[in-house]
Structure 1
Amino acid sequence: MKKRLLALCTVLAAATALTGCSQSGGADPGAHKVTLWLMKGSASDDFISTFTASFEREHPGVDLEVKIQEWVGIGDKVNAVLDGTSKESADVIEVGNTQVAQYVETGGLSELTLEGLRAWESKDWLKGLSEPGSVNGAQYGVPWYAANRVVIYHKDLFESAGIKAPPKTRQEWIQATQKLDKGDQQGIYLAGQNWYVLAGFIWDEGGELAVETSGQWVGALDEDRALAGMEFYKQLQALGDGPKDADEETPPQAQVFARGRVAQIIATPSQAAEIEAANPALKGRIGFFPIPGKTADKPGAVFTGGSDLIIPERTGHRKSAVNVITALVSEKWQTELARTMSYVPNRTNLAHVVKGNEGAENMAPGAAQGRATPNSARWAEIEAKNPIKPFMTAVLTGQDPKLAAKTASDTISTVLSSDR
């Protein structure tokens, strides 16, 4: 497998330099424009306008231009900026947290290790955001915000079943769901191929989707701990009528929940708005709780979605680009973004700022336990082929779990270890 040699800043270098590797530490001279690319839907218009005005007041001479980008086709646009073939320019770019490794392999990213150690409270970063932004010990992506799955539940159905408090452990969860699964009522609607949920169960068991050894990635779904996670998924999925051969969007699980006869789904809290739009009678009757863990002392592991911020090496205004990131990850703007957009802030010591927002408040405990997919530049190819989905369907339809897992693991190994 080809390996890109990455130049790393070291702690020793930090003692003698004020910026990242091969970068100037001085202030950007004169009046100039700094361009920030944000993804559509990541921040409200009010947040963007207020942040822009504040930043420009605090940095006289800087014209901050925010350009909104679509997710479709964004990879090619970012790569074009990084390799210098784009007619557009960007000084700071928002990217999906699991995309950073791809851009590092492509080349053209500015290392941000030193800034992260000094100014951005990196010790408290959510691991599900920070770890994907780090490659070979160097930080390229700076955590911005997170969102993760919780259990969305129908309060009336819980009350009718005599369940007075959300479950705290897997065992309590299964017992409660068994009570809720009766007649035409589903204890939980869990599609058979919701592999992000499965990943959390696997991590809870101490398993992995894939592991890296001596630079080689190997699929790990056929290991006993991963199979234990799949077994729990199977037990839970059986307490409803979710399809065994489709994912959570086929049909959209929020629409199924909106019919009023499903007690629970596993989704991001933002889907509550979709449920209420489809069935206004459920407004005020929807609750949230963290996905339960194996023990009551901590919630279950979850896949952390969200965004990191990167700086292209080709920026002509690195100092100002760093200042933009410093502002965006500051407590003031993390608080404003989290409260405005119902996100989880980028670090654990800010979880309290979403208190009172029921959805975000219940995401925060899971986010503290959150993980990301294997940090391989080729993981996107795994998701495109997605051997995990047929593995799940095979197990749920009675096929041999070990054999199905071995088939999926072999595919993962082949894709992650191949040269392009």
Structure 2
Amino acid sequence: MGAAGCGGPAGSGDVTLKLVAADYGNSPKTSSSVYWKKLAAEFGKRHPDIKVDVDVRSWKTVDADVAAMVKRGDAPDMAQVGSFADYADKGELYSADQLLSVPVQSSFVSQLAEAGRVDQKQYGLPFVASTRLLFYNRDLFDAAGIKAPKNWADIASDARALKDDGVPVPFALPLGSEEAQAETMMWMLSGGGGYTDTTDGPYTIDSDENVRTFRWLKDNLVGKGLTGPVAPGKLDRADAFKEFTEGKVGMLNGHPTLMNDARKAGIHFGMVPMPGKDGAAKSSMGVADWMMAFKQNKHAKQIGEFLDYVYDDQNVLDFATQYDLLPVTYSANDEMSVDDSEKDLHQFQKTLSTSELYPFGKSSWSQVSGLIKKDIGQAVEPGNDPQQVLSKIAKQAGAADAAAQ
């Protein structure tokens, strides 16, 4: 792992670019540093005047690490992390059109490019993407004599049948502090709502649609004992996933990583798009991680040349397939869609074109996400009014958004 800020030996390049990137691996062998160092070396052969110094850090610290670097005046040239809007608001980032060639800039999947905008200009370059599907345990469903749900009524009736058949957790609803903002968004979209109406519009957390969604969850799943013994507000996603791989969960929302974990555990599972209230949902939830480029070292030309190489289809595919993620460009997605060796990801790909992402372009989002993680579980607790809980979060989110303007 290279140290950010270190230059190469004499004659190794006229410009040294510093890249800080998140680690998607879980061991030295699978670390993202292996990918980045190989990519940087190959790029260096084509551009001997540009050296790329790679510093790969844990997802647990990388966002805070980059923030600390920027604060002390030692910003990297590029950072591949989880958010970008704060830096864009402060004028610290290059926009996409200042860096990328036209073909690369126009290659991004439109939903992802749109989510990377702040004030109608793209600063966040999507690096990898993912979507979410509803997983179900086929063996438990067969034993209960039920089929995959197509609407909310099916979810409720399937969950009841699973409970009657002795399944400990008919529907896992992780609204705990780990990733409650994701589970919340999936259900909001399923109910015709969302966090905002437009990419840069105000928060709509307590909209009528969202309130109806959480009332349905409270009355039809949680209140009827169909979400297991742990209160949703105390259940983290990792624990829900673990129970699914142990055969204790009938249904839950999941991402591609769960496929491999479940398969290794011998779970016979199926996947369907998250149903809407009365049928197909208007959209699914998409997730993206981001690349951004800082102005501090004035290396726009060299950064652009490197990022054009990063977004070459083969490089995009190599990284995405290694970590069971989705490519961020149309052409790379087209390649993946006809590759039988990646057929497990094809269902996730199908929902990418209708996906909606977090409001990444709002610099208040990280704070609002924290509010949701902290309080959203209260919306389905016995004795609580979902509207009051959502209105409380909405008021705090509005204040955070106003303060960030």
TM-score by length of 2: 0.79
2:78 is aligned with 1:92: yes
Distance 1:192 1:310, change over 3 A: closer
Q: Is the 8 A contact 1:56 1:62 kept in 2?
A: yes
Aligned-partner residue type, residue 126 of structure 2: P
Native 8 Å contact 2:175 2:232 kept in 1: yes
Say whether 1:48 aligns with 2:36.
yes
8 Å Cα contact 1:291/1:366 also seen in 2 = no
CA-CA distance at 1:177 after TM superposition = 3.7
Distance 1:125 1:236, change over 3 A: farther
Larger mean CA deviation between 184-193 and 336-345 belongs to 184-193
Shift of 1:80: 4.8
2:56 is the alignment partner of 1:68: yes
Match of 1:200 in 2: 186
Equivalent residue of 2:21, what SS? strand
Q: Say if 2:317 is the partner of 1:330.
A: no
- What whole-Å deviation, never above 9, does each CA across 1:9-55 have from its counterpart, x for those lacking one? xxxxxxxxxxxxxxxxxxxx964333322112266454334323332
Give identity over the alignment, percent. 19
Does the residue aligned with 1:345 lie in a helix, a strand or coil?
coil
Matched, 1:351 2:333: yes
Kindly report which structure 2 residues correspond to 1:264-283, keeping only aligned pairs within 5 A, or say none: 264-275=251-262, 282-283=265-266
C-alpha separation in 2, matches of 1:106 and 1:76: 17
**Are residue 404 (structure 1) and residue 389 (structure 2) matched?**
yes
CA offsets 1:85-104 (integer angstroms, 9 cap, x no match): 22xx52221021xx211111
Whole-angstrom CA distance in 2 between matches of 1:251 and 1:37: 26
State the partner residue of 2:45: 57
Over 3 Å counting, the alpha-carbon distance change for 1:122 and 1:383 in structure 2 is same
Aligned AA for 1:61? D
- The match for 1:370 is 355
Q: Can you list the C-alpha shifts for 1:89-137, whole angstroms capped at 9, x where unaligned? A: 52221021xx21111123311122355681225365252x333421111
Aligned residues: 378
Q: Is 1:113 aligned to 2:101, yes or no?
A: no
Q: 1:415 aligns with which of 383, 400, 403?
A: 400
Equivalent residue for 1:342, pick from 310, 324, 337: 324
Decide whether the 8 Å contact of 2:79 with 2:292 is kept in 1.
Answer: yes
Q: Distance in 2 between matches of 1:180 and 1:66?
A: 49
Report the equivalent of 2:3.
none
> Normalised by the size of structure 1, how large is the TM-score?
0.77
More divergent stretch after superposition (46-55 vs 144-153):
46-55
Deviation for aligned residue 1:342: 0.6
Residue 153 to residue 351, structure 1, CA distance change in 2 (3 Å)? farther
Q: Does residue 1:319 correspond to 2:307, yes or no?
A: no
Q: Say yes or no: does 1:135 pair with 2:127.
A: no
Is 1:201–1:301's contact at 8 Å kept on the other side of the alignment?
A: no
Segment of structure 1 superposing worse, 330-339 or 388-397: 388-397
Alignment check: 8 A CA contact 1:201 1:300 kept:
no
Runs of 5+ unmatched residues, structure 1: 1-28
User: 1:163 offset after TM fit, Å?
Assistant: 4.4
Provide closer, same or farther for how the CA distance between residues 260 and 77 of structure 1 changes in structure 2, counting only shifts above 3 A: closer
Q: Residues 309 and 402 (structure 1 numbering): CA distance in 2 closer, same or farther, change over 3 Å?
A: same
Q: Output the CA distance in 1 between the equivalents of 2:72 and 2:101.
A: 29
* Of 239-248 and 136-145, the range deviating more from structure 2: 239-248
Distance 1:228 1:314 in 2: 47
Q: Which residue of structure 2 lines up, in the alignment, with residue 23 of structure 1?
A: none
Contact 1:244 1:393 in 2 (8 A): no
Describe the SS at the equivalent of 2:170.
coil
